[in-house]
Amino acid sequence: MDHSAHDVARYFLAQQNEDDGSDVTNLKLQKLCYYAQGFHLALYEQPLFGDRVKAWIHGPVIPDVWHRYREHGSAPIPPPSDFDPGVFDQPTRELLDEVQSVYGQFSPWRLRDMTHREPPWANTPQGEAIPEDAMRDYFLTQLKD
């Protein structure tokens, strides 16, 4: 695992396109990173990034990433101007692109509501780290659909 949650966040921010309404707010960014981590755990049995995902009131959050972008509030975060997607290998980029394709279409609040119905967040006490094995087990069930 050579990546941080910040790398993953910057990847998603670099993919946004204001012409198609794919703006990314901090709330949406948190959920995209959570889904990327969950599916990576399910597919490869190891985390995509080392940062812990915590169960916050509005769903899964990576605290360091949230604090980095909190100044934007609920406004879209501008894409990074200096991001190199080559920091990720091809299989990882394909996974991130798939997460963006499937989940990026939803509003931040829809993603929040979706994560609230999913066991990893729902079964973790607020403020605690969501166990990676709970994420892996849940996302394995999503791969079969």
pLDDT at residue 58, rounded to an integer? 96
Q: How confident is the model at residue 93 (pLDDT cuts 50, 70, 90)?
A: very high
Over residues 108-136, mean pLDDT:
97
Q: Read off the pLDDT band of 19 (50, 70, 90).
A: low
Q: What is the mean pLDDT of the chain?
A: 93
Q: Considering only CA atoms, which of 141, 118, 1, 27 is closest in space to residue 12?
A: 27
Region of residue 59 (left: phi > 0; alpha: psi -120 to 50; beta: else):
left
**pLDDT band per the 50, 70, 90 thresholds, residue 135:** very high
Rounded Cα distance between 94 and 36, Å, is 11
DSSP 106: S
The DSSP code sequence of 64-93 is: HHHHHHGGGTTSPPPPPSS--GGGS-HHHH
